[in-house]
């Protein structure tokens, strides 16, 4: 899918495929340096993190295992409370592991804040976070994030794994949607 497939649904491109690729190269180099000689367990948070995980993992030279979690808030009314439900748990035992959570976006920070304390309680050697995008102005809770691709304005974005009603995840860039899309 590209911009032409979106007709007039695309408002503007925030980050091009090339910009994302360049930043992923830099993030991977930093992660390789930080985890030199160590084995890393990448934990992807479904579904949005699939693209970041695939593109980041392929750039890493350090020893990597991959695992996945699916989480859901208990409904929009309680999302702000940070109450999260596990839909699919990890297969891996975290004892003694160096865990790197891979996310597409940190918006309010509530999902990651919950996930961080959940994974920390499982006895890992370390837990860090890598996210492609972060909206600093939307933060309801501060999360200590080791690797951030881009800080973006507090606008709803799609593409590179991010959806609106499950659509647009397969856009290779990150963009905003025209207002008429939301009124459908």
Ligand X SMILES: O=P(O)(O)OC[C@H]1O[C@H](OP(=O)(O)OP(=O)(O)O)[C@H](O)[C@@H]1O
Catalytic residue positions?
A: 107
CB of 105 to ligand X, least distance (A): 5
Q: Which stretch binds ligand HPA (CB under 6 A): 78-86, 95-103, 118-126, 152-160?
A: 152-160
Which of positions 68-107 make contact with ligand X (CB under 6 A)?
103-107
Question: Binder to ligand HPA among 55, 103, 107, 128 (CB under 6 A)?
Answer: 107
Does the footprint of ligand HPA cover residue 105 (CB under 6 A)? yes
Give the distance, in angstroms, between the CA of residue 45 and the centroid of all CA atoms in the same chain: 7
Residues constituting the chain: 184
Nearer to ligand X, 20 or 106 (CB): 106
Q: How far is the C-alpha of 124 from the C-alpha of 179, rounded, in Å? A: 44
Choose among ligand HPA, ligand X, none what residue 157 binds, the Cβ cut-off being 5 to 8 Å by kind.
ligand HPA
CB proximity list for 3: less than 8 A, separation 6 or greater: 10, 13, 171, 173, 175
Question: Binder to ligand HPA among 45, 157, 171, 181 (CB under 6 A)?
Answer: 157
Nearer to ligand HPA, 94 or 171 (CB): 171
Q: Which stretch binds ligand X (CB under 6 A): 26-34, 39-47, 90-98, 176-184?
A: 39-47
Q: Which stretch binds ligand HPA (CB under 6 A): 38-46, 80-88, 140-148, 156-164?
A: 156-164
CB-based contact 57:42 (threshold 8 Å)? yes
- The long-range contacts involving 29-33, CB below 8 angstroms and separated by at least 24 positions, are 30/147, 31/56, 31/60, 31/62, 31/100, 31/130, 31/147, 32/60, 32/61, 32/62
């Amino acid at each position: 899918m590209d911009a032409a497939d979106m007709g007039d649904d695309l408002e503007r491109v925030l980050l091009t495929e090339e910009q994302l690729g360049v930043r992923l190269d830099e993030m991977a180099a930093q992660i390789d340096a930080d985890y030199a000689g160590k084995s890393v367990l990448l934990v992807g948070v479904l579904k949005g993190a699939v693209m970041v995980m695939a593109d980041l993992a392929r750039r890493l030279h350090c020893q990597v295992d991959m695992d996945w979690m699916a989480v859901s808030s208990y409904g929009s009314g309680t999302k702000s409370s940070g109450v999260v439900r596990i839909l699919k748990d990890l297969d891996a035992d975290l004892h003694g592991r160096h865990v790197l959570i891979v996310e597409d976006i940190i918006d309010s920070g509530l999902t990651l804040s919950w996930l961080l304390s959940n994974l920390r309680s499982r006895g890992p050697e370390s837990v860090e976070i890598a996210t492609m995008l972060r909206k600093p102005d939307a933060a309801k809770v501060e999360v200590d994030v080791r690797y951030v691709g881009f800080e973006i304005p507090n606008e709803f974005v799609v593409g590179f794994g991010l959806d609106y009603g499950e659509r647009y995840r397969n856009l290779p860039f990150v963009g905003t949607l025209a207002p008429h899309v939301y009124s459908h």
